[in-house]
A and B are shown apart, each in its own frame.
Chain A
Amino acid sequence: MKNGRSHLLLALFCLALGQDLFAIGGVDTAPPPAAPHAVSFTHPKETKLNNGLRLIVAERPNLPLLAVELIIRSGAEADANDLAGTASLTGSLLTKGTEKMSAPQIASAIESLGGTIFSSGVLDSSNAGVLVISSKAEAALPILADIALHPAFKQEEIDRLKKQSLDGLRVALQQPGSVASYVTGRVVYGDGEYGHAAGGTPETLPAIQRADIVKFYQTYYRPDNATLIFSGNVTFEQGKEYAQRFFSDWKTDQAMVSPISTTTGTWKPTSVVVDMPGAGQASVSLTKPAIKRDSPDYYSGLVANATLGNGFTSRLNREIRIKRGLSYGARSLLDARRDAGAFTASAQTKNESAAEVALLLQGELKRMKTDPVQGDELKSRQALLTGNYARSLETDLGFASQIAGLAVFNLALETLDKFIPAINAVTTKDVTTFSDKYLATPSSLVIVGKASAFSDPLKKDFPETRVIAQTDLDLNRADLVKRK
């Protein structure tokens, strides 16, 4: 420190003086809040083109920006298990070349406008979109339409992307948190359609051929399985005109596909440890199948999940981080999907504390039933959810992505307005009913970390745990173990 001791003493003295003054001149208790101001959102409008493409426009004239997203109601759930990653490669390849433009030309054209272009394939959906200054829409939209309607799927680009994806996987498979997310998929869904890694595995990616990608594209990328969303500085009339001009040629002569019917396999609670001797931390999760997005329990489920593990003052974070300093953050996720998605509660902790954290997670899931959320705690979780929701609608891309989230599951646009009242209407009884059914019942345990550091204490409370060596892990199989 630059200042000497006398200065330091003086500083302490001044601070003491400051506190004194504060007691006289300042205010020791928090002032109450004023009356709240109401939140209001744009009401998007919709129509359908003759080719069956649904069009939704959210007029947000505040800033000269425009987000455009094309969302397809099919994704990685439609992958064959031994070709996991097909939807993901198909989606990512859209920006990698069309019949007219090469990958570098696409990137250069959009980036020269100051914009960004993106495309992907995940569970339940695929998408492509742009974000640009609204005055550049005329230049950006033909490119978006071109990548969505006329992708080339050149062999060279497929090879390049496969190689990049494999290198990405190599890195991900060294991280306990990402290994845990692959493993929980298998633990919850087994051989079911949501069970495989959506981005593919080191074994499936090399097996995917151009024909698989072309077939996936032809089957699912079609106007009657898609929604086009404009969010930003555009009118409904202008949006319609753009959609007509750039997307009305999109045709398909194949019969309409019905969405893949998924199953959660024959799930039963289990405990799995993946032993990564070099892991710098252990990832600990409790997981199980939960609800569909269109379930009547959806809003009760969100409030239950928020009580347990959404936000800093959620129960898991309070017990694991705030009270015990065992993790940088504990959380839970209710991943509602077209079919029943998973509920997962998780935390990363030093390897030595993994068993303790597993027990704490389990205790908090049970406590959802024995110590129901009510009063201020309930109100705080409702406010957290509605506040997060309102903030997600602040940006053009955020607004587009909320609409896309509805379009994927064929939910009505009015659902946008329902969210806040529906969350606020959830009662203690609703949350307790949900918790009885989905949270307080047994879950599967997944720990990825250095097993020697926690296997002894773990045996006491989870005696039936299977330990899989990192080198024996096979993400392609429901039992997760390589065949010898």
Chain B
Amino acid sequence: MHVGRLLFLFFACFTLAASGLAREPKAEIKKLSFKHTTLQNGLEIYSIEDHSSPTVAVQVWYHVGSKDDPNQRSGFAHLFEHMMFKGNEHLTPETFEKLTENVGGENNAFTAPDVTVYHEVVPSNYLEPILWAEAERMSSLALNDANFNSERDVVKEEYRQRILANPYGEFSLAIDQKSFAAHPYKRPSIGNIAELDAAQLPEVKAFHSTFYRPDNATLIVVGDFKASDLETWTKKYLGPITRPRVKIPRVTVDEPSRKEDRHEVLFSAKAPLPAFAVTYLAPSVRNEDEAALDLADEILSGGQSSRLYQSLVYEQQVAQHVSFSADLREDLGLLTFRVIVASGKSLPEAEKSLNDQIEKILKNGVSEAELDKAKNRFLTGKLMERETNNGKASALGEAAVIYGDPNHINTDLAKYQAVTASQIKDVLNKYIAGKKKVLIEYLPEAKKEAAKPEETEKL
């Protein structure tokens, strides 16, 4: 629970489901009409009233993520996320469970590179108390050594479960670490045991006062409520929280452009099959190329009819797994190809197959049929997101905070619909052709003999 590194997948899911509907405009999707208000203390509130089920989804998006981890404290934003459940003088630990799962709702949170999101679904009669509880933890936290240390142990177990118990956990961590040279995106959200151990209780308080403030937060409420009640309750509970006068610190590091290709080799005692990743630097999620890159993502690796699955997994059988992700974040992103090599095949064989596919799409572009397919899959994904209050709340939060434009939930379809096949070819060439790549190889320990010692690094 209190997810951490799911973060990445979470956004991957959003970007994977790329597109609109070029040829068949009749399958219209209803616009979501939302209300927006800003409290005097700077808190942004977006809401959608929908009485189709007696539940309300509540999300608080804080504009702080693992890129804001303090120096030498990799994993701190995520560790902090766990501490947000530990309460203060008015808010006993487990209040969130008492107001959610114990009355039939649910709650969780996740830390992403750019944001930390706390989300609940409650029976609609619990909206007022859950808003009170969110206001309490926005206003202050009060931990002691005992609950700080014990929750830190939980986070270390989360690290062991996600990274150490998983044969490809360290491979996933290495992708960001090796792909960014300067930007704090190179530090994994989950952190590492040594830096988690180094964290001190007073740092929790400092992090709260620096980033957990109303003018750095966005409240999303979707479901069964009356607009007048929501207005009264948000004013009553969240209104009195003061806005500090100091500016919110922001990451301003510029990632330098790559001067040369890099080749990193890592070894694992647990990985039964070799794996490798190839990354290129990509633009911000707010860049105009975003829609075309998302559609390229879908065409290359969305579903079993995608290019990479068809060629590497199905036809040539050189890969046990292959994916491409346009992993675009607030400051910049990565275009990441990942391959786990099939047994009986060599890494160079798989690498050659991948390079052939990349060359082919850069040279010949994509077909109209592939583009239509990607747009149709995007539309279905968008409809599925609308099935639940929580799905709608996530979409609205992402639009407001990540895209910086709440209307994105209603305008993205047309944006994807307008993308042409030649644009997709152009953006892929823009970010890949002639650009410097980072190649990360992750090899079973048994292959270590074959590699040169100076190229190797033990995780």
Contacts and interface: CB of A to CB of B under 8 A. Distances in A.
A35 B103 CA distance: 13
A383 B121 CA distance: 13
Contact of B380 (A65, A168, A349): A65
A230 B336 CA distance: 38
A114 to B, nearest CB: 3
Interface string B257-276: 00000000000011111000
Given A27-B132, A114-B377, A280-B160, A176 B165 contact: yes
A425 interface: no
Interface stretch (A1-9, A43-51, A234-242): A1-9
A255 interface: no
B382 to A, nearest CB: 10
A64 B27 contact: yes
A167 B165 contact: no
A163 B314 CA distance: 11
For the side of the interface on A, what is the size category?
Answer: 35 or more
Contact of A348 (B152, B157, B271, B372): B157
Contact of B139 (A18, A31, A325): A18
Contacts of B125: 33-37
B222 to A, nearest CB: 13
Interface stretch (A260-268, A293-301, A386-394, A437-445): A386-394
Interface string B66-96: 0000110000000000000000001001110
Nearest to B89: A28
Interface string B164-177: 11111100000000
A107 B165 contact: no
Contact of B157 (A3, A350, A376, A391): A350
A33 B128 contact: yes
B384 A107 contact: no
Interface in B151-166: 151-154, 156-158, 160-161, 163-166
B152 A325 contact: yes
A114 B379 contact: yes
A114 B272 contact: no
Nearest to B123: A36
Most A CB atoms within 10 A — which of B252, B376, B379?
B376
Contacts of B167: 171, 174-175
Interface string A370-395: 00000010011001101110110011
A281 B242 CA distance: 44
A211 interface: no
B124 interface: yes
B165 A163 contact: no
Interface in B234-266: 236-237, 239-242, 244-247, 249-250, 252
B132 A31 contact: yes
Given A36-B125, A325-B149, A395-B388, A114 B376 contact: yes
Interface residues of B, number: 102
Contacts of A329: 1
A116 to B, nearest CB: 7
A2 to B, nearest CB: 4
A380 B372 CA distance: 48
Contact of A103 (B153, B163, B303, B314): B314
B317 A30 contact: no
A133 B101 contact: no
Interface in A357-413: 376, 379-380, 383-384, 386-388, 390-391, 394-396
Given A25-B240, A112-B372, A166-B343, A107 B140 contact: no
A88 B360 CA distance: 36
Contacts of A312: 1, 94, 97, 101
B102 A383 contact: yes
A18 B387 contact: no
A38 B1 CA distance: 28
Interface stretch (B206-214, B404-412, B413-421, B428-436): B206-214
Interface of A: 1-3, 7-8, 10-12, 14-15, 17-19, 21-22, 24-39, 62-65, 103-104, 107-108, 111-116, 131-133, 135, 160, 163-164, 166-168, 170-171, 173-177, 278-281, 283, 311-313, 321-329, 348-350, 376, 379-380, 383-384, 386-388, 390-391, 394-396
Given A36-B54, A350-B157, A376-B102, 18 more contacts: A1-B71, A1-B210, A11-B206, A18-B241, A29-B90, A103-B304, A114-B379, A133-B380, A164-B320, A170-B273, A281-B157, A281-B165, A325-B149, A328-B154, A328-B161, A386-B104, A387-B104, A390-B104
Interface of B: 1, 26-27, 52-55, 70-71, 90, 93-95, 97-99, 101-106, 121, 123-126, 128-129, 132-133, 135, 139-140, 149-154, 156-158, 160-161, 163-169, 205-206, 208-210, 224, 236-237, 239-242, 244-247, 249-250, 252, 269-273, 302-305, 310, 313-314, 317, 320, 340, 342-343, 369, 372-373, 375-380, 383-384, 386-388
